[in-house]
Amino acid sequence: MHRMRFPETLGSQVSFTAIDFETADDGMDSACAVGLVRVDKGIIRERVVRLIRPPRPSFRNTDIHGISWEDVIGEPCFSKVWGEIQYLLDGTDMLVAHNARFDRTVLQACLQSSGLEVPDIPFSCTMKLARRVWRLYPTSLPDVCRYLNIGLTHHDPLSDAEACARIMIAAMDHTSRQELME
């Protein structure tokens, strides 16, 4: 695991990108949408959401996120989308996601199946963070958002990514450097 050193005042120095994927089917390479929120020094600087044409037209998760093959058939594949959005990771200290294991695995699978390099950037999980910082259980994204009074349209990738960003910003005010990382 990649360990990081943070400055003493976290919120005033840390830059991160919150990320959330929606997938079409059970394949981890089936990203059909991604939301990213860039945070610099505790301030949300940029929000991006993109639909992605996955490698297969099989959609099993439409009932979860509302995205279907018809919605993405004319969209670019992952490698093209990644080429347009990867700048949001430039200079960041970490990627942030709720249940980071899922989003990290989707990112790695999509990059590898596209023949692209996986960035050497650590992930922080806001689900685990909520357990450590606020002792919350259960820690689904809607539960944590309710506790922190963060608006959420669950399974909308931009809303989920922004919620993760806001959870991390709140955690930076309540925790030590070591507790921020997975």
Q: For residue 134, is it within any domain?
A: yes
Domain containing residue 65? 11-177
The total number of structural domains in the chain stands at: 1
Edge to edge, what strands does the sheet with 31-40 contain? 43-51, 31-40, 15-23, 94-97, 123-125
* Predicted confidence band of residue 4 (pLDDT cuts 50, 70, 90): very low
Q: For residue 1, is it within any domain?
A: no
144-160 residue pLDDT tens:
999 999 999 999 999 99
7-24 residue pLDDT tens:
444 555 789 999 999 999
| pTM of the predicted model over 0.85 | yes
Q: For residue 96, is it within any domain?
A: yes
| CATH number for the domain that contains residue 35 | 3.30.420.10
C-alpha to C-alpha distance for 107 and 118, rounded to whole angstroms:
8
Q: For residue 123, is it within any domain?
A: yes
C-alpha to C-alpha distance for 161 and 64, rounded to whole angstroms:
16
Strand partners, 21: 34
Q: For residue 110, is it within any domain?
A: yes
What are the backbone angles phi and psi of residue 83, rounded to the nearest 5°? -60, -30
Q: For residue 4, is it within any domain?
A: no
In the 8-state DSSP scheme, what is residue 136? Answer: -
